Structure 1
Amino acid sequence: MSKIEFNEMLLSNADFLKPFAVTLTHDNEAAKDLFQETLYRALANKDKYNVGTNIKAWLYTIMRNIFINNYRKKAKQSTVFDNTPNDFLLNHNQGAVANAAIESINLKEVQQAIYNLPEIFRNPFLLYFDGYKYHEIADMLGEPLGTIKSRIHFARKLLKTQIERY
């Protein structure tokens, strides 16, 4: 098959791809990009097209594969962009503290609040804070699971009321 014949066959069967692209992306601009990428890949891989193969099915497969690959790339990226004109990164992962002295005061305040908890709440809370699961704490302290969950919940509530917010 000559290049001209392939191009004519491609153009005559390309219109059905546009609604399929919109169905996949649910966005007109993304659908246009997907459509163009599909036609580009079809032209770039015309040597892989076997004469007699259903051209529509071949193009559908190309488009579907491009869409799936793009979706997987976006899922792995996990970077969220703000839709403002400047495209700011939302999850920049910078946890800078403005003042180390304030941080140490806050830490001391939290430690003091935990120390001031009644022992019945303090022990399960500290074990939970150290990474133990509820059922492990219940086994260690010999208490029912619901009691441990309740005590940890009340410890959190007491800490929230005792710690002042700046």
Structure 2
Amino acid sequence: MKNLTLNAEICKHQNCLEAFALKFTKNIEDANDLVQDTIIRAIRYHEMYKEGTNLRGWLYTIMRNTFINQYRKDARRGAVVETSADLSSYQLSNSATSNLGEGKFVMEDINRALAKLEPEHSLPFLKYFEGYKYNEIAEELNIPLGTVKTRIHIARQLLKAQLKEHSKRFRVAAGQN
């Protein structure tokens, strides 16, 4: 089967994939993302599909594996790290009171660093920070997805360089040197 024909066949199964994805995610937006990831993977790995076999079954397998992999990734990211060090209430209150004053100065520095960024970098970065997904930012700003990713990356690097002093201070305070 030619690549374009297979791509068209894959897209014909989008409605079935959406219903299947909704069973996994229980959320329409997450289901749409899962369908999009599934279709992208299917098109990317089209050479692995054996012509004459069940295309829908192959797509369902890709979707299930994509969902499981994302679930595992999210579970690792959300894992709680336990420490064996016992903190006294004095240490906790001392840390909290010193953080209140420092936090205000840190936020002022962050806001100054953000103000120094060009709008082409700060706008996508702030949108991403607010929780927008890359594709939503690209659509809203009417720029390519790759450009959004690049601008956010550049903004992060510039902010990291400008806020390097704070990074060192927090590593020392956390005992990470």
TM superposition score normalised by structure 1: 0.48
TM superposition score normalised by structure 2: 0.45
